[in-house]
Amino acid sequence: MEQNYQQQPMLTPPKNWLVESILVTLFCCLPFGVVGIVYATQVSSKFNAGDQAGALQASRDAAKWTKIGFFVGLAVLVLYIIAIFAFGVTAFWANKDAMNDYR
Amino acid sequence: MIIDKKIQFLIRCAAVVAISLLYFFIDARETQLFPKCPFHSLTGLFCPGCGSQRAISALLHFDLISAMRFNVLLVASLPMIGYSVYASIMNTFTTKVVQQRLFHSVTFIWILAVVVMLFWVLRNVHVYPFDLLAPHH
């Protein structure tokens, strides 16, 4: 598939993962999303400059960092839920007033 | 592993619905059940995503003001998310191709990046009016 991309000139820029990286930044609350946004700028600027290989590489990097952010966020959530069930929900509720913290 | 685009889209929809139900019936504003932001736990500072779980619960209860208090950037990005969802529906289920030119505009992406970074810094400034950007009830 990548072979095809490189043989013929691309008419549209490769996927820049912009919306996905914004979502990771706002939902998973991890700085990886910001890295994704920076690569998103490179996808478009390199494509506009005619550097198709560079745009494809930036697209792959944007995808990589956005996915790392997404899966780390997901892993934190899953581990957290497992921890709750392992230690018992009651322990969390007992501390409800004491733990009036941000989340 | 190749999964059909349409099936992939429907799996994502199912995941979004499941998570929405969770955050609707268990209001993140009232429970300690959901994980706290690791960045906030480590540094005590707010990241651009802090408050988004509570904002989602607020949005699911149609409480827009409350959602904006917890994470105004998330609420502000809803039109963009909506447009993206529209584009992927069109591109997946119809022959019409929505190119999303705006999202490939270098100027637009840089503005977004700067807004996110500014939001990150300013919501940690404990001076009015910037303290309004920090998650609060």
B45-79 residue pLDDT tens: 998 989 999 999 999 999 999 999 999 999 999 99
Which tokens go with B72? 């105004």
Do the beta carbons of residue A25 and residue A37 sit within 8 Å? yes
Residues of chain A in contact with residue B81, where contact means CB-CB under 8 angstroms, are 19, 23
Kindly state whether residue B4 falls inside one of the protein's structural domains.
Answer: no
Kindly state whether residue B64 falls inside one of the protein's structural domains.
Answer: yes
Mutate one of A32, A66, A102 to test the B interface: name it (highest B CB count within 10 A). Answer: A102
pLDDT of residue B134: 93
Kindly state whether residue B75 falls inside one of the protein's structural domains.
Answer: yes
**pLDDT category of residue A1 using cuts at 50, 70 and 90:** very low
Kindly state whether residue B124 falls inside one of the protein's structural domains.
Answer: yes
Kindly state whether residue B70 falls inside one of the protein's structural domains.
Answer: yes
Is residue A95 over pLDDT 60?
A: no
- In chain A, which residue's Cα lies nearest the Cα of B72? A26
Q: What is the mean pLDDT of residues A47-72?
A: 90
Q: Which amino acid does the sequence have at A36? A: G
Are A29 and B47 an interchain contact pair (Cβ–Cβ within 8 Å)? yes
Do the beta carbons of residue A13 and residue B21 sit within 8 Å? no
Are B37 and A18 an interchain contact pair (Cβ–Cβ within 8 Å)? no
Which tokens go with B58? 């607020």
Q: What count of CB pairs under 8 Å joins A to B?
A: 100
Is residue A66 over pLDDT 80?
A: yes
**pLDDT category of residue A88 using cuts at 50, 70 and 90:** low
CA distances to A8, A14, A49, B88 from A11, rounded to whole Å, are 9, 9, 13, 19
Kindly state whether residue B5 falls inside one of the protein's structural domains.
Answer: no
- The C-alpha of A99 sits at a distance from chain B's nearest C-alpha, in angstroms, of 8
Residues of chain B in contact with residue A80, where contact means CB-CB under 8 angstroms, are 34-35
Domain count, chain B: 1
Where in the sequence is the domain holding B69, given as residue range(s)? 45-131
Distance (Å, whole) CA A83 – CA A87: 6
Kindly state whether residue B25 falls inside one of the protein's structural domains.
Answer: no
> Which tops the pLDDT comparison, B77 or A82?
B77
Name the average pLDDT for chain A. Answer: 77
The string of pLDDT tens digits covering residues B73-96 is 999 999 999 999 999 899 889 888
